Each structure stands twice: as C-alpha cells, then as structure tokens.
Structure 1
Amino acid sequence: MTRPAITEIRPHIRDYAELTSLEVELAKDRGSLLVLPVGACEQHGDGLPLGTDNIRADHVAHAVVEQLAGGAQGQAGRAFVLPSIDYGVSPHHRFLPGTINIGPQLFIDLITSIAHQLADAGFAKLLVITGHGGNLASLGVAQQSLLETHPDFVFAYAPVSALAPESTAALPRTEVSGHCGESETSQMLAIDAHLVDTDHLSPGATRLDDLDPRARLSRTKSPSTAVTFDRYADNGVLGDPRTATAAAGEGILGEVISVLVSYCQELQKL
C-alpha cells in the first residue's frame, strides 16, 4: 500500500506528540528544530510544587516555539516541543520530602538515547531547556558523548533562570538566594499563581554567616563543591520567597524567552 503524501503540517500543532507520522516525515524534511523541556521532581520548600522545574521549562519551551511560529513567514511547523522529562539529577535534595532522584547516569542515558533516535531518524537539531540546575553537568556530558557518536547532530542546552541576569539583578534578593527563592517563586506566580501555596512561603538560608563552614564554601562558584540542601536550611530554601511577585516573574521569563527565541532563530538557519 502506498502511503499518502502531504505538503503541510496542521498550523496549530506545537507539540511533537500531536504530530501524525506523515507530519513527522514532513517536519524532518523541513529541518525542524525540536525543543525538549527537562526538570526534576524534588522538594521546593513549603510553598512551591515538586514539579516547579518542569513547569517552568515546559512554559518556556512552549512560549519559544509559539513565538518562532508567529515570526517570519513560513516558520510555522518548523519547531516542536517534545514530551518533557520530569525527573532529574537531584541527589542534593534527597533528604527533603518529595524528591525523586534518577541520578546522573540514568539521566545522561535517557537524554542521549532520545538524541540518538532523533538523529538516526533524520532530525538534525535539538535544544534542551532545563528548569533544574542540577541537570546541567549531565547535559554537558551528553553533549560531549553525542559529538563522538553523532558529530553532525546539533545538540544545545540551556538553563532557565540563568538566562535572565538583568531581571534577576532587579529582584530584592537576600545575600544567599537560589532554590525556591525570590526568582523561582516569582516565575511560578507568573505562570500559575494557583500552584503556589503563598500562606506557607517561608525563608530558608539568607545569610552566609548563618551557614556552617562547608555549606558556606559550597556557595563559591569556582572552585566548586556541593552539599545536600538540608544542610542549608530545614526547608531547603535559599532566599526569601515572600518578596516574590508575579510582575517580577513575568520580567524574568520574558528575558529568558527573548534570549532563547533569538538563539533558536540562528539554529533554524543551520
């Protein structure tokens, strides 16, 4: 039986999983960019959901693909969001409630397996957006592994919050800030305030002088060392999320999305 041929992908489709097999073939022929959101299932203090990192990564991925589709003429159907990976590398959160850690090797194997299959099927470009900073080292390993096995496959990866230095610098942050703190909480308020239990937002580690010597040393970016987050604070929070606002979150996410759209437009030219 001869399979039918199509010349267009349904214009409203943004998700890879919603494509038909015929549309996938056309997407490959068009050199479509695939975007993979990854996160983690881990504690996020007493006021944010366990899936905070997935929610932020997925939100950014869909916003980027939507803007790409609405940009230059003919860009619709040239970028799609893959089903997300909602578990990540979280051993540093394993002593706090709710965390499910799959570890670095399994995460690397999962990412490289997906990339191998996409490359072997004929796709050429993949951008991974991670809402969880703990995944970055493993994504770097995956990138190097793919250079060995599929050197022509373009594998890029990016964090979320770190792409918004200007908006983040404008936040009223404590001396120690980060996980479940002012930035992440602001982003979640902007995405869906109903997912934030504002009555239970509470500060965690806010001053370097409050940390024990090893925890304080781990806040130095380079050289780098690590501790489990229960060592920072009982609730695993870095900063004071009570100062977070939806408006600040919109600014952070807007900066992140703008940076990634510009980058993806360059990827699509390859």
Structure 2
Amino acid sequence: MTGGFPEEKRHQAARSFRRLAELTTDEAAEAVRRSPLVIIPVGAQEQHGGGMAMATDTVRAVGVADRVAERLAGRAVIAPVVPYGISPHHMAFAGTVSLSPATFMQVLRDVIASLQDHGWRQFLVITGHGGNNAALSVLAQEYVRQDLTFAWTPITSVVSDLIVDVSEVHGHSGEAETAQMLYLAPDLVQADRLEPGATTLDELTTPARLSRQAHGPRLSVGFDVYHKRGVLGDPRRATAEDGRLLVETAADRIAAFADELLSA
C-alpha cells in the first residue's frame, strides 16, 4: 500500500475498462450507452497435468478479456467469468467439473438475455477452453436471426501461426498453454512438477491418433486415452516470454475484430 491507497485500487483506477460485477446499478445503466459491447470470458475447471492449476483455462480467458477490453478504451464491459465448461473428456482426473453442453449453453443464454433486457445488444465470448467451442458455434447459429450480435473466439488458435518449435503432438497443458500461464499467473504453475505427456504420434493409441486427424471422420476420446497424465506436449519447454507474445498478440487480434464490430 502507498499512502493508504491499495495497489489493487490504484490499478483499478488506471483501467480504461469496467467489470460489470464492480459497478453499481446506476453505473451499469450508464455503461449500456458508453460501453455497448459485453465481453463474457468462459473457462473450465479441469485437470492440467501435475504442474498447473485446474483454473488454467479460466485464468487465460479472463487475462485475455481484460487486455481486449483495455485496448477498446472504455467501449466494452466485462461480465463475470463462467468458470465451468464442457469437460467430460477430462473426468478421469480428480477435481474436474463438467457441465453438459445443454447446461453450458443455457447459462450463456440466460446471461445474455438478462443483459439484453438492460439494453446491451453486442456480445463477445472469449473461451479459454477448446471443449466449449462446439457449443459456442451452435449457440452462434441460434442468434443469427435475433436482434443482437453474438461473436465468440478461442485464444490459442487465434495465434496458431506463432506457435513454433513445439512437440509433434501438443495442445492441452503443453508448450503454448503453459507459456501463457507463466506469463499471466506464474504462481499457478509448479515448474518442478511439469512433465511431458504425449509428444509424438507414434506414442498414441489408435483411437487417440484417429482423434487428432484434421480431416475426415471425427472421433472424441478422453484425455486419459492420450496419456496417463492427460498432457499433450512438453510443458517444460514453455517460457513466460513465449506466453507474453501469444497472449498480447491474441488480445491485439481479438480487439481489432471487436473494434470493427463496434464500428459496423
């Protein structure tokens, strides 16, 4: 603290965006006009190997949402995060909590309907969990003919062109995801407990290998089928500097999209 003013309050005072949960109802009514875009971060509560917290996807969604809103300079508010996602493929690991796709979509429908009643018409969901993607795509179709704008985006795939020098098999709890956490929340990474999971296609069972095909029939498997620790890639190779590049570039690209959306 400095002069009786907590560091967190000084940080909040400097922000150019607002979190909906921190507003009074009068401030929220004003925000409908000044901040027409609602950003909704969604994550997951699921295993991330032995070295990262189960809130990893939620932390990443909030971290990127904050940065996107900062870049939009007051034109967006951030709704409270949805900390649970669609994670049946991680249920073999202790601590994982999964919503059904129907429940996940209904939570978002209700959040959006509530805020629509108050006047907001533009929504952007930022998901830190790939398991939410299919449901978000379905939800987006529902809103095509309604009087609102609904957009959604993942994080890592937005910057896939920057993910280089990684394992042949990588993804969940691997190099890119761990790098983002080392940048955003290093206190939630236990570096001495990071360990490689499946890193080459040769290591995968036939069902796991078939599920990784980019084209052709689709197959889903549990992450315990990929590897006993549920890890894809080698998180020991991750660095905070790599994470900074991925997070900040993702925020740049998503904010550029949102800027065009707001200008349309």
TM above 0.5: yes
- 2:102 aligns with 105
Please say if 1:47 is aligned against 2:54.
no
Measure, in 2, the Cα distance between the counterparts of 1:119 and 1:193: 37
Please say if 1:247 is aligned against 2:245.
no
- Of 175, 200, 203, which aligns to 2:193? 200
Measure, in 2, the Cα distance between the counterparts of 1:111 and 1:53: 17
Equivalences for residues 89-168 of structure 1 within 5 A: 89-148=86-145, 151-168=146-163
Kindly, what percent of the aligned residue pairs are identical?
Answer: 42
- 2:263 aligns with 269
Measure, in 2, the Cα distance between the counterparts of 1:185 and 1:263: 25
8 Å Cα contact 1:14-1:62 kept in structure 2: no
Measure, in 2, the Cα distance between the counterparts of 1:11 and 1:19: 16
TM-score by length of 1: 0.89
Measure, in 1, the Cα distance between the counterparts of 2:130 and 2:258: 21
8 Å Cα contact 2:35-2:77 kept in structure 1: no
- 2:167 aligns with 174
Comparing 251-260 with 24-33, greater Cα deviation is found at: 24-33
8 Å Cα contact 2:176-2:238 kept in structure 1: yes
Equivalences for residues 1-20 of structure 1 within 5 A: 12=15, 14-20=18-24
- 1:184 aligns with 177
8 Å Cα contact 1:31-1:124 kept in structure 2: no
One-letter identity of the residue aligned with 2:47: Q
SS in 2 for 1:80: strand
One-letter identity of the residue aligned with 1:177: H
Comparing 97-106 with 21-30, greater Cα deviation is found at: 21-30
Measure, in 1, the Cα distance between the counterparts of 2:144 and 2:14: 33
Measure, in 1, the Cα distance between the counterparts of 2:141 and 2:14: 35
8 Å Cα contact 1:201-1:241 kept in structure 2: yes
How far 1:31 moved relative to its partner?
5.5
- 1:258 aligns with 252
How many residues end up aligned between the 2 structures? 250
Unaligned runs of 5+ in 1: 1-9, 70-75
One-letter identity of the residue aligned with 1:27: A
8 Å Cα contact 1:89-1:102 kept in structure 2: yes
How far 1:81 moved relative to its partner?
0.8
Please say if 1:235 is aligned against 2:239.
no
- Of 61, 65, 80, which aligns to 1:61? 65
One-letter identity of the residue aligned with 1:87: Y
Structure 1 runs of 4+ with >3 Å offset: 10-13
One-letter identity of the residue aligned with 2:124: L
SS in 2 for 1:37: strand
